[in-house]
Every structure is written in C-alpha cells, then in structure tokens.
C-alpha cells in the first residue's frame, strides 16, 4: 500500500515539475514574443552625443556685375543742339578717345567762359571753408564756457560750505546749483558745436572739392570740344550702356548723350544679406565670386561696403569690388561666403531639437533593466539654444556633452516613451 502511494506521489511530483517547466517556458516565450511585437510598434530612434565646435554660417546671393564708375556725358551748352553723328551702338566696347557722338557747337565758346567763372567761384567757396577763423571762434567759445563752468562750480561749492554751516540760505544754494548746471550745459553745447562744425565743414570741403573736380572735367571737356569740333569721345575704356539721341535729332540736357561703364575703374556686385548673417562679414574681407555667365569663372573680390538694403529693410546690402580683364559689366554672379562662429562646447543636430509652447528641448535616452534585458526610454530635457546653422544648434544651458540624445525618430515622441535604439 505504501509502495503504491510512493509511486503515485513520484508520478505527481514529476508531472508537477513538467507542468512548472512548461509554464515557465510558455511565460518566457510569451514575454519574448510580446516584447518582439512591442518593438515593432515602438519608435525607432537614432542616438547621438553632443560635440564641441563652431557653427558654419553660409552667406550667399546672386547679383549683376556693374562698373564702379559710370561716366555720364551731358551737353555742356544750352539745349537743342543738332546731333551730327552717332558713331557707336548700345553695348559697344569702346577705347579711350574713341568718338561717340558729334554735335553742332556754335555756342560752346561762350559756355566755356561761363564755366570758367563757376570754377573760380567754387575755388572761393573752398577757400572760405578752409578759413580757420570760424574754428578759432569756436575754440574761444569753449574756453569761455569752461572758465564760466569752473567759476559756477566753485561758487556752488563755496555757498554749499556756508549752507552746511547755516550761514547761507537753501534758496541761494538752489540758485547756485542751477547756475552751475546751466554752465555745464553751455560748456557741453560749445564742445558739441565745435565737433559738429568740424564734421560738417570737412564734409562740405569734400563735396566742394568733388564739385570743383567735376567742373574742371567739364571745362576740360569744353576745351576738347572746341579743339575737336564738337566731337564727344570716350574718356576711358569701357562699354556704352546708354545712347539717348539719334542722328538728326536735337540733343538737350534732360538726358545724358551717352553713358559709359568705365572698365578701368573696376567692377562691383551687390547681394542682399540677412542682417543677422552680415555680422560675420566685415569690409576688407576677401571673397570668391563665381561669374556664371563667364563659364563659372572664379574671380577674387573684396568686401568694400555694407549698407542698408533699400529694397528690403530687414536685410543689408553687401557690396563686393571686383577687378578682372574679362569683365565688361552685366555679367551674372553668385557669391557664397563660409564663416565660422565662436567655439561652442555643446553642439547638437538640428533634428534633435524640438520647440513647443513651453520652450525648446531635446530627448535624452535612459536605459533601464527589463525582463529581457535593458530597455530604452526617452526623457524631455529643456535647453537654451544660443545660435544655429543649417546642421547644428549651439546649446548653452540644460545639456551635458556626455548626455545621449535622440538625433532622429521614426515617430513622434513624448516624455517617458519607450523606444528602440537603432545601432
């Protein structure tokens, strides 16, 4: 009887063991397949770490090459002068001294006398601008104002000393303070007046000198016309960009007889640049310019000026000087400038950066132990981005260079989501 019971007990024990093993295997299989199925539904992410380095700023634009100097030839005497000959066509390349247009010049001698008188008047204006007597008076005004300022300041200090000892009234102290402040303002005004005068006077002298040079060229042109029988010639090598009168017509001063792009003065191209990007460029910077209409010839240029863009108030106009014998003006040009920012300790891919109503953030990756090993979860990390380029963003707060972050994800993520890291 006991033997039978032992045999049955042993059988039950073996059966129980088999069932337990079967249960464990089934649970493992279910967990494995559940985890596998889960993996297909989870976001698949690419993990990256921050790097140090500089951002790359790309400044690019297109423009048309123009001559730095455009010579405009107007008639130098009255109106309605008969055009005898027009010797060139629009866009012709001409040489210095080449005849362009011929007019009837019966009144030029009289006009020459008038222009000589204007030239002498301009010289008188420049002499007056160079007169140092005005500057001497301004210096005297400053000296007088300074003496008065020092006197009023001393008077105030004396009265204040008496007031502190109850030997002077508050009203007198207040009046002395007002006198001292007024003397200070008068002194500052005298200094500012002198500075403004010097600046304006220098600009006036420069403008007057330029006008004198223009007048000298006009007189020289008149003299040449008298010598050459009314023939207007090219003052330098260049390209005819405008012709406004035909043979047999009456020329007048409302339009230029012709305009000449002077090749000897060099060329320029201007591009419109975002105001934020233009801070990475300065006058004098060397730039390679691609002349696309000359079979992509690369010409070395130099930034000559950065000014407000009249067509787009949010942008700046970048003017680049060019000098190459193949240029004539009118060519299509492309500019591409690559600049680096300062060094940053934490750069992350732009694809890793997100923004919502609560700010800017990235997802860091955290590993936890699961039933079948390590599992990956994402955690929102708020950050501050100082700057970015087309590839990376510079993080200055919220992220450590050792942190693992999500660079790409196959699905949208939320804080705490589980994800599958792709190797």
Q: What one-character-per-residue DSSP string does 72-107 give?
A: EE--SS-S-EEEEEE---TT-EE-TT-EEEEE--TT
Q: What is the distance between the alpha carbons of residues 337 and 339, in angstroms, rounded to a whole number?
A: 7
Look at residue 372 and tell me if it is in a domain: yes
Contact 356, 325 (CB under 8 A): no
Mean pLDDT of the region 133-139 = 85
Look at residue 381 and tell me if it is in a domain: yes
323 φ/ψ angles, rounded to the nearest 5 degrees? -150, 110
* 191 pLDDT above the threshold of 80: yes
- Tokens at 357, concatenated: 């109503």
Q: 170 and 184: one domain?
A: yes
Domain that holds residue 20: 1-40
Please tell me the predicted confidence (pLDDT) of residue 37. Answer: 47
Q: What is the distance between the alpha carbons of residues 57 and 339, in angstroms, rounded to a whole number?
A: 5
Of all residues in the chain, the percent with pLDDT exceeding 70 is: 88
* 29 pLDDT above the threshold of 60: no
Look at residue 323 and tell me if it is in a domain: yes
Q: 283 and 271: one domain?
A: yes
Q: 208 and 249: one domain?
A: no
Structurally, the chain folds into a number of domains equal to 4
CA 251 vs CA 75, 84, 230, 255, 256: distances in Å:
8, 10, 13, 8, 9
Q: 34 and 47: one domain?
A: no
Better pLDDT: 148 or 35: 148
Please tell me the predicted confidence (pLDDT) of residue 94. Answer: 93
Look at residue 356 and tell me if it is in a domain: yes
Q: What pLDDT, in 10s, does the model give residues 48-72?
A: 888 999 999 998 899 999 888 889 9
Please tell me the predicted confidence (pLDDT) of residue 319. Answer: 92
Mean pLDDT of the region 186-191 = 90
DSSP 294: G
The CATH number given to whatever domain includes residue 296 is 2.40.30
Mean confidence (pLDDT) of the chain: 85
Please tell me the predicted confidence (pLDDT) of residue 85. Answer: 93
Q: 174 and 275: one domain?
A: no
Look at residue 141 and tell me if it is in a domain: yes
Pairing of strands 354-356, 332-349: unpaired
Contact 410, 44 (CB under 8 A): yes
Residue bearing tokens 């005005």: 134
The β-bridge partners of 44 are 420
Q: 325 and 347: one domain?
A: no
Q: 302 and 356: one domain?
A: no
* 39 pLDDT above the threshold of 60: no
Please tell me the predicted confidence (pLDDT) of residue 383. Answer: 94
Mean pLDDT of the region 293-306 = 92
- Which of 278, 308, 330 corresponds to the end of one domain? 330
- Tokens at 6, concatenated: 């032992």
Q: What is the distance between the alpha carbons of residues 264 and 142, in angstroms, rounded to a whole number?
A: 48
Look at residue 97 and tell me if it is in a domain: no
Residue bearing tokens 């787009």: 312
Please tell me the predicted confidence (pLDDT) of residue 77. Answer: 57
Please tell me the predicted confidence (pLDDT) of residue 82. Answer: 86
Q: 193 and 277: one domain?
A: no
Q: What pLDDT, in 10s, does the model give residues 215-237?
A: 998 888 778 767 777 789 999 99
The CATH number given to whatever domain includes residue 376 is 2.40.420.20
Q: Which of 131, 269, 129, 134 is nearest to 210 (CA)?
A: 129
Please tell me the predicted confidence (pLDDT) of residue 411. Answer: 86
């Amino acid at each position: 009887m006991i033997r039978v019971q032992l045999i049955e007990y042993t059988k039950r024990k073996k059966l129980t063991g088999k069932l337990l093993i079967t249960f464990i295997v089934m649970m493992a299989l279910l967990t494995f397949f559940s985890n596998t199925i889960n993996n297909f539904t989870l976001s698949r992410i690419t993990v990256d770490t921050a790097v140090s380095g500089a951002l790359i700023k790309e400044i690019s634009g297109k423009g048309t090459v123009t001559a730095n100097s455009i010579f405009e030839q107007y008639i130098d005497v009255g109106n309605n002068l008969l055009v005898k000959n027009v010797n060139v066509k629009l866009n012709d390349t001409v040489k210095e001294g080449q005849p362009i247009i011929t007019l009837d010049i019966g009144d030029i001698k009289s006009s020459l006398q008038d222009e000589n008188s204007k030239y002498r008047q301009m010289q008188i204006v420049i002499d007056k601008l160079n007169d140092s007597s005005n500057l001497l008076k301004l210096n005297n005004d400053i000296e007088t104002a300074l003496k008065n300022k020092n006197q009023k300041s001393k008077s105030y200090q004396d009265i204040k000393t008496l007031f502190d000892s109850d030997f002077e009234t508050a009203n007198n102290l207040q009046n002395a303070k007002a006198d001292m402040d007024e003397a200070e303002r008068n002194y500052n005004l005298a200094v500012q007046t002198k500075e403004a005068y010097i600046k304006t006077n220098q600009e006036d002298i420069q403008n007057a000198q330029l006008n004198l040079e223009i007048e000298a060229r006009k007189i020289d042109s008149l003299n040449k016309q008298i010598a050459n029988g009314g023939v207007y010639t090219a003052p330098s090598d260049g390209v005819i960009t405008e012709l406004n009168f035909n043979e047999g017509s009456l020329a007048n001063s409302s339009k230029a007889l012709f305009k000449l792009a002077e090749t000897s003065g060099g060329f320029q191209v201007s591009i419109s640049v975002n105001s934020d990007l233009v801070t990475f460029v300065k006058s004098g910077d060397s730039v390679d310019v691609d002349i696309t209409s000359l079979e992509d010839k690369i010409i070395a240029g130099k930034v000559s000026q950065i000014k407000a863009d009249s067509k787009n108030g949010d942008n700046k106009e970048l003017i680049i000087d060019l000098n190459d014998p193949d240029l004539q003006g009118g060519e299509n040009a492309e500019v591409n400038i690559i600049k680096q920012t300062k060094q940053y300790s934490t750069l992350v891919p732009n694809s890793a950066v997100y923004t919502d109503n609560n700010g800017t953030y990235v997802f860091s990756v955290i590993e936890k132990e699961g039933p079948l090993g390590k599992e990956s979860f994402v955690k929102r990390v708020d950050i501050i981005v100082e700057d970015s380029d087309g590839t990376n963003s510079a993080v200055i707060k919220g992220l450590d260079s050792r942190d693992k972050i999500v660079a790409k994800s196959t699905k949208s993520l939320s804080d705490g989501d589980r994800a599958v890291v792709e190797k």
